[in-house]
Structure 1
Amino acid sequence: MRYFEEAKNIWINYVPARGQSDIVEGELIRAVEKLRTEAYDNGNGNWDEAFEMFCSYLLETLASDKAFSIEAQAELVADIKRLSDYSHPYLEDDLYDRIADRIIEWSKFHKGPIKREKNPQQYR
């Protein structure tokens, strides 16, 4: 992971102990780490619509953003789609770390942190 310290800083400052972040970057980092934890710890055994919502949020926020080249956008789409294949949990760090790096790049491009409204349907 190229931006470990930056991601750690977002986690410490913008991801609450429980519930959603009110900052886009915090929620993006929280989403990728929730997906990683679910795959590693539970083999995606608890997968439900809330995890689908994490994948959708990552896709909608990052995958077609002007912060990234067309190639980087395509890579993000492929990475997130792979993680969303809940019947085959992804158990390597590379995709999670690459997405986290893209979150930091997105934040730098948009000169974050950026406020967001919490999704009342996201319960994880």
Structure 2
Amino acid sequence: MKYFEEAKVIWKKYVPKSGQAESVEGELLRAIEKLRYEAQNNGNGNWDNGFERFCTYLWEVLDDRDVFSYEVLQQIKKDFHTLRNYKKPYVKDDLYDRMTDRMIEWSFANKGPVLRENDPNQYR
């Protein structure tokens, strides 16, 4: 992971102990880590609409042509296809670390933290 220290700061400042984050960066990091934990520790056995919503949210934010090059967007898209294939859990760290780096780059480009509204349908 290229931006480990930056991610650590976001985790400490913007990811609450429970519930959704008030910032886009905090919620993106929370989603990435929930997806990582579910795959690595549960084999996606608890996969449901809450995890699908995390994937959708990540894609909606990171699919940003103003921030990322075509090549980077293709890698992001490939990673999402891998994540969404929940019947075949992705357990290596590289994909999740890469997504975290993209989230940090998105935050840099948007001069974050960027505030967000809670998703009333996200229960994870």
**Is the structural similarity TM-score above 0.5?**
yes
In structure 1, the partner of 2:12 is 12
1:64 Cα deviation (Å)?
A: 3.2
For these two proteins, the number of residue pairs brought into alignment is 124
1:63 Cα deviation (Å)?
A: 1.8
2-structure distance, mates of 1:94, 1:119: 28
Q: How does 1:34-113 map to 2 (within 5 A)?
A: 34-113=34-113
Q: Note the aligned Cα RMSD (angstroms).
A: 0.7
In structure 1, the partner of 2:115 is 115
Q: Does 1:21 align with 2:55?
A: no
Contact 1:23 1:115 (C-alpha < 8 Å) held by counterparts? yes
1:65 Cα deviation (Å)?
A: 3.7
1:97–1:40 Cα change, 3 Å: same
Unaligned 5+ residue runs, structure 2?
none
TM-score by length of 1: 0.98
1:74 Cα deviation (Å)?
A: 1.0
1:53 Cα deviation (Å)?
A: 0.3
